[in-house]
Amino acid sequence: MTATDRSIELVNAAAQAAADRLAHDIIAYDVSDVLSITDAFLLASAPSDRQVKSIVDEIEERLNKELGVKPVRREGDRDARWILLDYVDIVVHVQHSEERVFYSLERLWKDCPQLSLPEDAVKTRGKAQEHAHLMGDREGGPS
């Protein structure tokens, strides 16, 4: 089984919204063969809690406005370190960069096929590492 056209449409819209809010390392996996509860996972991250929340708000607004869907569940708002949006067909995980490294969801889903994403989303790959390197330089750390 593979992700449905509707799931792919949702993933692409969410990925574009995340990219528009400068999310880092956007990636999507087709998990339909290993999970019966959803078709796809979209992962994105940001270096601050405020930006995590901004990305999630943009995804939620865009999917509602453009595709007429609202999440059935939204979790993690209080700390904004890892917010999950459950749209049934897809699940969106937006994590603070530190949580992204610690939980390493990519390792869990690495055997699942990656879904193609809009060019703007693909360009975000490696941004977290770039940002960490830049911040290290600003703080007088190693380059």
Per-residue confidence (pLDDT) for residue 1, from 0 to 100: 67
Q: Say if residues 25 and 124 touch (Cβ distance below 8 Å).
A: yes
pTM: 0.89
**What is the Cα–Cα distance from 3 to 102, expressed in whole angstroms?**
27
- Number of Cβ within a 10 Å radius of residue 48: 11
Per-residue pLDDT of the chain in tens (143 residues, 90 and over written 9) = 699 999 999 999 999 999 999 999 999 999 999 999 999 999 999 999 999 999 999 999 999 999 999 999 999 988 889 999 999 999 999 999 999 999 999 999 999 999 999 999 999 998 766 666 555 655 555 44
**What is the Cα–Cα distance from 38 to 49, expressed in whole angstroms?**
26
